């Protein structure tokens, strides 16, 4: 009997203990490229080798233009040691419909071409554009009739909603890209993404040289990330260790030379690291404005520059010069740029100059490019402070010396400000009052 059982196991091969069919690995070869659709605890689709040195997590709804998604897909296709994990983001009806289309494409093993098409043409997700959507799906090899039936019957609705329910607790900014667990937000550029991938690749190779098995590499990288930044809350809920999140310590620093608004003796000081060229900074600025109106006279706002692109660098240079001339000129420029970003979503360097001139601000006498002097020293000091606080990309918010982790929401900021205002004097002194120790 024992010999019979062993024989049956050998005949069954390694597949005897595989999970249900929908959790199998599917390998599709197309020339030099390939898709590896892997279901880790989800399942979530994966592009690239299962055991990779660098793992990218993409959180971007399908009703938005390509942006970071295009960069991530391109870099994953061209790298042999990078894998991409795609997370459905269902923030709107169109985004939910897009995720359902994606999961039907996943079932037909054409997920990645479908994602590329949808990010290029998000208007296809409008109900009235369904014929065009089906036509595009057919072009990349999907069964259009099967796709239409899946949308009518809402075949993948439950799966998409369950996956999004797990991720929405992360308080995501949309879009977000994670590189081995480190969150990159805001106006992500190809240079920034490539640099972060290279840093994470070096970390992974160092662990391999120390003898860490490839099968344990990703878990070890995440563990290092948690220990490095106390970023327990960054991890997806299903992969968090059973530990309480560690509150970041307060950091005290000098605010001299930075534009500020509100009473200097306010019990709450919000330090806002911004890049005045994109929508993410505008959204955070609106949230901060709302809270300052709610807590009038009790909150002080301080601006620090952390530009991410050429336009942001141009804006920082002119804004800091205007602040040196007169504070009111800075705030006029600040409001003008935020309004322009709301209209255009993204500004170029030339548009930054045009917006400031149209606002009636005199830029005469300001060098067109950074030159040595107090303004450049202040901008370099802002960047050095960002590194000290572990702020990698704007926008970022520091309240009373404590960096807020995760993407900024109105509810989050209201809660943190309320907690700071409710702190007793003894408790505030024990932790170190940021407003007391941050001089003009």
Q: What is the pLDDT along the chain (440 residues), one digit of tens a residue?
A: 555 554 544 444 433 333 333 333 333 333 323 333 333 334 788 888 877 899 999 988 888 777 788 889 888 888 888 999 999 888 788 889 999 999 999 999 999 999 999 998 888 998 888 999 999 999 999 999 999 999 999 999 998 888 888 776 666 666 788 888 887 765 677 777 888 888 888 888 888 888 888 878 888 877 776 665 444 444 454 444 433 333 456 778 888 889 999 998 899 999 999 988 877 788 889 999 999 999 989 999 999 999 877 888 889 999 999 999 888 999 999 999 998 888 777 788 888 899 999 999 988 888 888 888 899 999 999 999 988 887 877 888 999 888 886 567 788 888 888 888 887 555 555 554 443 333 33
Q: Residue 27 in contact with residue 61, Cβ under 8 Å?
A: no
If one counts the domains in the chain, the total is 2
Longest dimension (CA), the chain: 94
What gap in Å lies between CA 166 and CA 249, rounded to an integer?
A: 28
- Statement to judge: residues 201 and 283 lie in one domain: no
Q: Of 141, 109, 90, which Cα lies nearest the Cα of 38?
A: 109
Pairing of strands 182-184, 176-179: antiparallel
Per the DSSP assignment, residues forming a β-bridge with 270 are 301, 399
pTM (2 d.p.): 0.48
Q: What is the pLDDT of residue 229?
A: 47
Q: What is the pLDDT of residue 138?
A: 94
Q: Which domain holds residue 323?
A: 260-437
- Statement to judge: residues 56 and 187 lie in one domain: yes
Q: Take residue 198 and report the two structure tokens written for it.
A: 């290279």
Domain end, chosen from 209, 231, 249, is at 209
What gap in Å lies between CA 181 and CA 170, rounded to an integer?
A: 13
What gap in Å lies between CA 24 and CA 29, rounded to an integer?
A: 16
For residue 347, tell me if it sits in a domain.
Answer: yes
For residue 119, tell me if it sits in a domain.
Answer: yes
Alpha-carbon Rg for the chain, nearest whole angstrom, is 25
CA 280, chain centre distance (Å): 10
Place of tokens 């890049």: 275
- Statement to judge: residues 57 and 144 lie in one domain: yes
Burial class (CB in 10 A: 0-12, 13-18, 19+), 219: exposed
Instruction: Give me the CATH number covering residue 129.
Output: 3.40.30.10
Burial class (CB in 10 A: 0-12, 13-18, 19+), 231: buried
- Statement to judge: residues 178 and 269 lie in one domain: no
- Statement to judge: residues 186 and 308 lie in one domain: no
- Statement to judge: residues 283 and 200 lie in one domain: no
What gap in Å lies between CA 76 and CA 66, rounded to an integer?
A: 15
Q: What is the pLDDT of residue 261?
A: 92
Q: Residue 259 in contact with residue 439, Cβ under 8 Å?
A: no
Pairing of strands 82-87, 54-59: parallel
């Amino acid at each position: 009997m024992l010999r019979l059982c062993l024989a049956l196991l050998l005949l069954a091969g390694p597949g005897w203990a595989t999970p249900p069919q929908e959790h199998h690995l599917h390998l599709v070869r197309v020339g030099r490229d390939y898709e590896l659709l892997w279901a880790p605890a989800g399942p979530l689709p994966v592009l690239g080798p299962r055991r990779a040195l660098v793992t990218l997590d993409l959180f971007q709804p399908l009703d938005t233009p390509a942006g970071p998604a295009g960069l991530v897909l391109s870099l994953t296709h061209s790298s042999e040691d990078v894998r991409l994990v795609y997370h459905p983001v269902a923030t709107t009806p169109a985004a939910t419909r897009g995720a359902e289309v994606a999961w039907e494409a996943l079932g037909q093993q054409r997920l990645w071409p479908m994602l590329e098409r949808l990010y290029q043409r998000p208007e296809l997700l409008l109900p009235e554009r369904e014929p065009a959507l089906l036509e595009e799906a057919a072009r990349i090899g999907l069964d259009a009739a099967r796709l239409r039936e899946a949308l009518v019957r809402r075949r993948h609705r439950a799966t998409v909603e369950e996956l999004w329910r797990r991720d929405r607790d992360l308080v995501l900014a949309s879009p977000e890209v994670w590189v081995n667990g480190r969150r990159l937000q805001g106006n992500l550029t190809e240079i920034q993404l490539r640099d972060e991938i290279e840093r994470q690749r070096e970390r992974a190779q160092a662990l391999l040289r120390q003898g860490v098995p490839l099968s344990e590499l990703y878990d070890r990288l995440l563990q290092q990330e948690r220990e490095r930044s106390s970023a327990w809350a960054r991890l997806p809920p299903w992969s968090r260790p059973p530990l309480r999140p560690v509150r970041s310590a307060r950091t005290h620093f000098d605010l001299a030379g930075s534009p500020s608004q509100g009473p200097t003796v306010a019990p709450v000081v919000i330090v806002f690291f911004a890049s005045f060229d994109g929508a993410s900074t505008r959204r955070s600025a609106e949230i901060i404005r709302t809270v300052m109106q709610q807590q009038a006279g009790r909150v002080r706002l301080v601006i620090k520059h952390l530009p991410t692109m050429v336009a942001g660098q141009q804006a920082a240079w002119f804004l800091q010069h205007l602040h040196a001339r007169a504070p009111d000129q800075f705030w006029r420029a600040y409001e003008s740029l935020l309004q322009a970003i709301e209209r255009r979503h993204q500004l170029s360097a030339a548009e930054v100059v045009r917006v400031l001139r149209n606002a009636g601000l005199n830029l005469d006498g300001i060098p067109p490019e950074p030159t040595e002097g107090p303004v450049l020293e202040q901008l370099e000091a802002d960047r050095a402070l960002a590194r000290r606080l572990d702020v990698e990309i704007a926008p970022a918010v520091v309240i009373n010396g404590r960096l807020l982790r995760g993407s900024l929401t109105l509810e989050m900021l209201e809660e943190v400000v309320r907690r700071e205002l409710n702190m007793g004097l003894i408790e505030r002194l024990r932790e170190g009052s940021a407003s007391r120790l941050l001089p003009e």
